[in-house]
Amino acid sequence: VWKNCMLFIQDNIQPQAFKTWFEPIKPVKLSENALSIQVPSKFFYEWLEEHYVKLLKVALTKELGESAKLVYIIRMENTYGNKEPFTEKIPSSNRENMVPQEMDVPIKSKNPELRNPFVIPGIRNIKIESQLNPNYNFDNFLEGDSNRLARSAGMAVANKPGGTSFNPLLVFGGVGLGKTHLAHAIGVEIKDKYPERTVLYISAEKFTQQYIESVKKNTRNDFIHFYQLIDVLIIDDVQFLSGKSGTQDVFFHIFNHLHQNGKQVILTSDKAPVDMQDIEQRLLSRFKWGLSAELQTPDYETRISILNNKLYRDGVEMPEEIIEYVAKHIKTNIRELEGAIISLIAQSTLNKREVTLELAQQVVEKFVKNTKREVSIDYIQKVVSDYFEMDVATLQSKTRKRHIVQARQLAMFFAKKFTKASLASIGSQIGKRDHATVLHACKTVDNLAETDKQFRKYIDDLTKKFS
Ligand code: ADP
Ligand code: MG
């Protein structure tokens, strides 16, 4: 059937148009008089609907008769926030007001003018995994002075996504203060209240990776269109986008589309918008359209209640003086606060040992000290390639393209500077080079650092990320 349709279509349009818009289509299924075709993207579907629907209709009617139906299946790359590849079924000429039922195409093929555009109710069935963590919800996000504004703004957004002036909602604050928790909580609450809305949580880092991948695979349009399908978009740690102009640009377009269509955007960042560096002005100004709410360091009372809550949930009891000791000494990071108490719980339950103040002191000391991150060669390669918006494989590749070579040399330079690895070992881990190459790279970087201002900036930016 499809073959005949294609022949008919081919006779009726320009060869170039046929090649672009019809050759990529795959027929998938024919059941009774409904033909399902697979198209590469939503954009593709929209284009077909806008430009070729009459032609498709005529062709289909010739083959399947007056009651012919057409179903589009949109295939997306499985990288966009999904574990599984997903397909989206959209019946032909399905605009707004879609009703969940089989569509019915009243094709009047004798009337090619189609003065009354036909609107067909049908199924719209998008499956996008929200990537939300149900363990991060409002119930266990304890309220205190330090988070009251952000928490209630989050609640307001959850009650009326897209319907408040808090769009975007930007939650900012230091490490371990609950940004990720709150971001999930908002999404979880929305899913609960509005199960039919498409919610997606994604870290800015992962978003960037997807974007880079889409550029590599030439599917940038699909990437954009995927994100434009979302009703509530939550992007965690947007400071990660700093200096990444390609990703910022694509996010800008997605943001505008969502915002214009009344969709909710929720962002988190470790800095207030005014302090964000290397983020384009036009994006920063968008961030300020909505509300920026800070998560501050929790006061003593809140820290106590977070600890008590954790103990209560785990069904563990602990002497008050221990709890107070922990709350007094860990002040600026709730993750560390939790880490310390979890460690104490483990000690007391596994070793069946009474938690003494002395033990608490040891644990707390460890937590306060251990927060420095270890720098590995893998980590260096990851940070450098992120910084230059490429992936690690590209950084390691054999190419001699200047910006890639520079990124590779910088990775070698930092590996030498921040790890104890030998030149040979650095070389073998960064794309199987020998020690002479690494030595040369280090010298080149030293030279460029003195002569090239832009290059100096790269080094400074990256050094900050490792220290
Ligand atoms: P951030 O994203 O700001 O670095 P997270 O959201 O990862 O911080 O929070 C760190 C830990 O602290 C998480 O385990 C989170 O559940 C917990 N936490 C943060 N804020 C609260 C709060 N108000 N009540 C209870 N737990 C909290
Ligand atoms: Mg976080």
User: Is there a domain that residue 72 lies in?
Assistant: yes
End-to-end CA distance of the chain: 64
Is any atom of ligand 1 closer than 6 Å to the C-beta of 333? no
User: Is there a domain that residue 29 lies in?
Assistant: yes
Whether residues 312 and 283 fall in one domain: no
Residue where the block lists tokens 């608490």: 360
Encode 265-302: b = buried (16+ Cβ within 10 Å), e = exposed.
Answer: bbbbbbeebeebeebbeebeebbeebbbbebbbbeeeb
Whether residues 249 and 186 fall in one domain: yes
Residue 114: is its pLDDT beyond 60?
no
pLDDT at res. 466: 82
Whether residues 234 and 344 fall in one domain: no
pLDDT at res. 117: 29
User: Is there a domain that residue 112 lies in?
Assistant: no
Beta carbons within 8 Å of 113's beta carbon, 6+ residues apart: none
Number of domains forming the structure of the chain? 4
Measured in angstroms, how far is the CA atom of residue 323 from the centroid of ligand 1?
A: 18
pLDDT at res. 27: 86
User: Is there a domain that residue 137 lies in?
Assistant: no
User: Is there a domain that residue 437 lies in?
Assistant: yes
Whether residues 238 and 339 fall in one domain: no
**Closest ligand 1 atom to 181 CA:** 6
Could you tell me if 376 and 415 are in contact, meaning their C-beta atoms sit under 8 angstroms apart?
no
Is any atom of ligand 1 closer than 6 Å to the C-beta of 334? yes
Average pLDDT over residues 294-318: 93
**Residue 316, domain CATH:** 1.10.8.60
Is any atom of ligand 1 closer than 6 Å to the C-beta of 338? yes
Which among 22-36, 199-213, 362-376 has the top mean pLDDT?
A: 199-213
Q: How many CB atoms lie within 10 A of CB 432?
A: 10
In this structure, is the dihedral angle defined by the CA atoms of residues 227, 228, 229 and 234, taken in order, positive or negative? positive
Whether residues 354 and 437 fall in one domain: no
* Distance between CA atoms of residues 311 and 315, nearest Å: 6
Q: How many CB atoms lie within 10 A of CB 208?
A: 21
Longest dimension (CA), the chain: 89
User: Is there a domain that residue 78 lies in?
Assistant: yes
Protein residue whose Cα sits closest to atom 5 of ligand 1:
178
Residue 5: is its pLDDT beyond 80?
yes
Displacement of CA 51 from its chain's centroid (Å): 32
Measured in angstroms, how far is the CA atom of residue 337 from the centroid of ligand 1?
A: 10
Last residue of a domain, one of 273, 295, 317: 295
Whether residues 258 and 166 fall in one domain: yes
| Position 162, amino acid | G
Could you tell me if 330 and 303 are in contact, meaning their C-beta atoms sit under 8 angstroms apart?
yes
**Closest ligand 1 atom to 175 CA:** 4
Could you tell me if 103 and 91 are in contact, meaning their C-beta atoms sit under 8 angstroms apart?
yes
Last residue of a domain, one of 58, 76, 91: 91
| Nearest listed ligand to the Cα of residue 181 | 1
Average pLDDT over residues 320-330: 93
pLDDT at res. 72: 75
Measured in angstroms, how far is the CA atom of residue 81 from the centroid of ligand 1?
A: 23
| Position 101, amino acid | Q
Measured in angstroms, how far is the CA atom of residue 171 from the centroid of ligand 2?
A: 11
pLDDT band with cut points at 50, 70 and 90 for residue 85: very low
Average pLDDT over residues 15-24: 83
* Whole-number percent of the chain with pLDDT over 90: 59
Instruction: Could you list the residues known to form a binding site for ATP, using ranges.
Output: 176, 178-180
Whether residues 416 and 349 fall in one domain: no
Whether residues 158 and 276 fall in one domain: yes
Could you tell me if 266 and 300 are in contact, meaning their C-beta atoms sit under 8 angstroms apart?
no
Residue 73: is its pLDDT beyond 50?
yes
Whether residues 329 and 257 fall in one domain: no
Whether residues 200 and 166 fall in one domain: yes
pLDDT at res. 274: 86
Give the DSSP letter of residue 290: S
Beta carbons within 8 Å of 309's beta carbon, 6+ residues apart: 140, 142
* Distance between CA atoms of residues 10 and 325, nearest Å: 78
Residue 411: is its pLDDT beyond 90?
yes
Residue-wise pLDDT for 154-170, tens only, equals 999 999 999 999 999 99
**Residue 82, domain CATH:** 3.30.300.180
Last residue of a domain, one of 67, 91, 115: 91
**Residue 279, domain CATH:** 3.40.50.300
Average pLDDT over residues 72-90: 48
Residue 368: is its pLDDT beyond 50?
yes
Length, in residues, of the chain: 467
User: Is there a domain that residue 131 lies in?
Assistant: no
Could you tell me if 396 and 408 are in contact, meaning their C-beta atoms sit under 8 angstroms apart?
yes
Average pLDDT over residues 451-467: 89
Find the domain containing 455 and state its range.
377-466
Residue 401: is its pLDDT beyond 80?
yes
Whether residues 399 and 323 fall in one domain: no
Q: How far is CA 327 from CA 5, 310, 324, 340, 357, in A?
A: 72, 13, 5, 10, 13
User: Is there a domain that residue 212 lies in?
Assistant: yes
**3-state DSSP assignment of residue 277:** coil
Is any atom of ligand 1 closer than 6 Å to the C-beta of 181? yes
Whether residues 188 and 262 fall in one domain: yes
